[in-house]
Amino acid sequence: MAAKLTPDKRSAALASLHGWVEVDGRDAITRVFKFRNFSEAWGFMSRAALVAEGMDHHPEWTNVYSKVEVTLSTHDAGGVTELDIKLARAMDEIAA
């Protein structure tokens, strides 16, 4: 199982991502993705879902029209691991 990142490693990883921040009161990271419309938001979610399923690592997310809010945490580990950073990076690339 992936191990929780140390605070230092988590900070360094966050600095290398786009717009991801720590969740208050929980060991997790979150980002809001904004698109031009629902179609683009859904396209992002479709592509991200395939990557997530391939990793067997799944986002907590909500979608309202053009906005997708994502929270990542490794439930088995009870916090943020390399798996979350890898999925966050993949999502950044898909949205770019």
* Binding region for ligand H2B (CB under 6 A): 56-58, 74-76
Q: Point out the residue whose Cβ comes nearest to ligand H2B.
A: 75
Residue closer to ligand H2B (CB basis): 17 or 66:
17
Residue closer to ligand H2B (CB basis): 30 or 74:
74
Helices (H) and strands (E) in the chain, counts: 3, 4
Cβ proximity of 52 and 58 under 8 Å: yes
Cβ 46 to ligand H2B shortest distance, Å: 18
Cβ 36 to ligand H2B shortest distance, Å: 28
Cβ 87 to ligand H2B shortest distance, Å: 8
> Distance (Å, rounded) from C-alpha 89 to C-alpha 16?
9
The label of the residue with tokens 């945490």 reads: 73
Q: Which residues are registered as beta bridge partners of 69? A: 32, 62
Q: Which two tokens stand for residue 40?
A: 């683009």
